[in-house]
Amino acid sequence: MTEKMIAVATVDESNHARASTLKKQYDFLGEDLARRGIKIDDVLKKVSTFGVAVPSWGVGTGGTRFARFPGGGEPRDVFDKIEDCAVIQQLTQATPTVSLHIPWDKADPKRLKQSASRFGLGFDAMNSNTFSDQKVQKHSYKFGSLTHSDKATRKQAVDHNLECIEIGKELGSKALTVWIGDGSNFPGQQNFADTFTRYLDAMKEIYAELPDDWRLFSEHKMYEPAFYSTVVQDWGTNYMIAKELGEKAFCLVDLGHHAPNVNIEMIVSRLAQFGKLGGFHFNDSKYGDDDLDAGSIDPYRLFLVFNELVDAENKLKNFHAAHMLDQSHNVTDPIESLMLSAIEVQRAYAQALLVDRKALLHFQESNDALMATQCLKAAFRTDVEPILAMARLNQGGAIDTVAAYRASGYRAKVAKERPPSGAGGGGIV
Ligand SMILES: [Mn+2]
């Protein structure tokens, strides 16, 4: 029996007030879907097994490069973070794993494992950090890490990644995500080719130590912190990396890491088609790498991404994309944002499952652009909330996650135990 952070009676009470309405809504939607040739229970089954990992750094209040305004009861360490993640999983039943960032979350692996298994949580991909300097660190990453001009700095960055693999092995993680901030701020500051060669050489050293059942994810990002050139800047470079490294190397797509208006769903399709789509960092953006809540700005784009994923799932053997949230919560309670974001991602998946793919293919083959796009819209417009809520209810989660969470008084309770963290530090933490 796994421990619960929120009293089961609180969740039950919240659900009790909503269960009979939900049942009616579910049955009504079931009839509607049956008319469209879809069995609602099949969709429910798939949605119930869908999981998205929560980033440990997401449960603390984020910030901008101007300031950070901490919230109450913020986690003091990785063990508090795991407890917050347990709340998210308990109420959503959609976030069974936690993704750790080293060295932020460095602790005795045995204790980490114990702490997570108390709540039935597992560990997703390990994330290395060579984009900031730690207190005890010989060489600075100010001018780069894996691509630094200095060999000893590169070695330090490689060693850090190897350490992440070692910790991950003890935790039962099966992937390492590498994102570097390396790049330049001025034309001429770096030689593009030499820098990329150094990157590939360093990644090959990391890849060589990767266990056989692990995957290596490289994450591209167009700009920031480097504002002129970034070494791993787009999906093309990322594809070259994954191809160069080998069959355990894949590209990770963070939805906020592209130029405005880029057709991300098409990138997803390309990478999937050629066997190099590793997974996602879900979030949303209005202008750049805003790290806003998934589905908060452009839910249709999220749906279109999932439309490609479901298509790939249907067509490709052994297709498996890792799902993770990567967001920064500046003005909301991170637990509430992460719960709703996990549900938004799940929603996009459920809607994508409703696409009439036979009809879509027919419209595509007959060049009926209008009906093809309406086919997608029909799925997107379907309110699948009853399916998502039923999946939560069946698994012990909350029909209305935020209502149950607020009724529990969790934030106020932990605020008493966890002293406020300083507001001094700027930047995203
Ligand atoms: Mn990311």
- What are the CA-CA distances from residue 54 to residues 93, 111, 114, 246, 280 (Å)? 12, 19, 18, 27, 12
Alpha-carbon distance of 305 to 285, in angstroms, equals 14
Give percent of the chain above pLDDT 90.
Answer: 95
Is 230 part of a structural domain of the chain? yes
The total number of structural domains that make up the chain: 1
Ligand 1 centroid, distance to 316 Cα (angstroms): 25
pLDDT at position 136, please?
A: 87
Q: What is the mean pLDDT of the chain?
A: 96
Number of H helices, E strands in the chain: 16, 12
Question: Given this model, what pLDDT does residue 419 score?
Answer: 82
Please indicate, yes or no, if residue 97 is contained in any of the structural domains.
yes
Assigned token pair, 48: 């119930």
pLDDT number for residue 65: 87
What does the alpha-carbon distance between residue 200 and residue 99 come to, in Å, rounded to a whole number?
A: 25
Closest CA to 300 of 351, 337, 251: 351
Q: Can you give the pLDDT at residue 425?
A: 41
CA of 264 to the centre of ligand 1 (A): 15
Distance of CA 63 from the midpoint of ligand 1 (Å): 16
Mean pLDDT, residues 12-19: 98
Tell whether the model's pLDDT for residue 346 goes beyond 60. yes
Question: Could you tell me the distance, in angstroms and rounded to a whole number, from the CA of residue 324 to the centre of ligand 1?
Answer: 9
Ligand 1 ion: residues within 5 Å (CB):
254, 281, 326
Give the pLDDT confidence score for residue 426 in this predicted structure: 41
Which residue is it, tokens 């099949």?
42
For residue 182, the CA-to-ligand 1 centroid distance in Å is: 15
Q: How far is the CA of 261 from the centre of ligand 1 (A)?
A: 18
pLDDT at 422: 56
Q: What CATH code is carried by the domain that includes residue 298?
A: 3.20.20.150
Full domain range(s) for residue 243: 51-354
The CA radius of gyration of the chain, in Å to the nearest whole number, is 22
- Residue 421 included in any domain: no
Task: Give domain status of residue 247, yes or no.
Answer: yes
Please check the confidence at residue 427 and state whether its pLDDT lies above 60.
no
SS (H, E, C) 270-295: HHHHCCCEEEEEECECCCCCCCECCC
CA distance 333 to 290: 17
As a three-state string, the secondary structure of 326-377 is: CCCCCCCCHHHHHHHHHHHHHHHHHHHHCCCHHHHHHHHHCCCHHHHHHHHH
DSSP string, 142-167: TT-STT-SSHHHHHHHHHHHHHHHHH
Q: Establish if 303 belongs to a structural domain.
A: yes
Does the residue 425 lie in any domain?
no
Average pLDDT of 374-380?
Answer: 98
The C-alpha atoms of residue 148 and residue 183 are separated, in whole angstroms, by 9
Residue with tokens 């001025």: 186
- Average pLDDT (134-143) is 95
364 occurs within a structural domain: no
Assigned domain for 406 exists: no
Q: Give residues with Cβ within 8 angstroms of 328, minimum separation 6.
A: 58, 62, 63, 291, 428
For residue range 55-96, list pLDDT tens digits in order.
999 999 998 889 999 888 999 999 999 999 999 999 999 999
Q: Is the pLDDT of residue 424 over 80?
A: no
pLDDT tens readout for residues 204-252: 999 999 999 999 999 999 999 999 999 999 999 999 999 999 999 999 9
Please check whether residue 242 is in contact with residue 276, taking contact to mean a CB–CB distance below 8 angstroms.
yes
pTM: 0.96
- Per-residue pLDDT of 152-204, as tens digits, reads 999 999 999 999 999 999 999 999 999 999 999 999 999 999 999 999 999 99
Q: Is the pLDDT of residue 420 over 80?
A: no
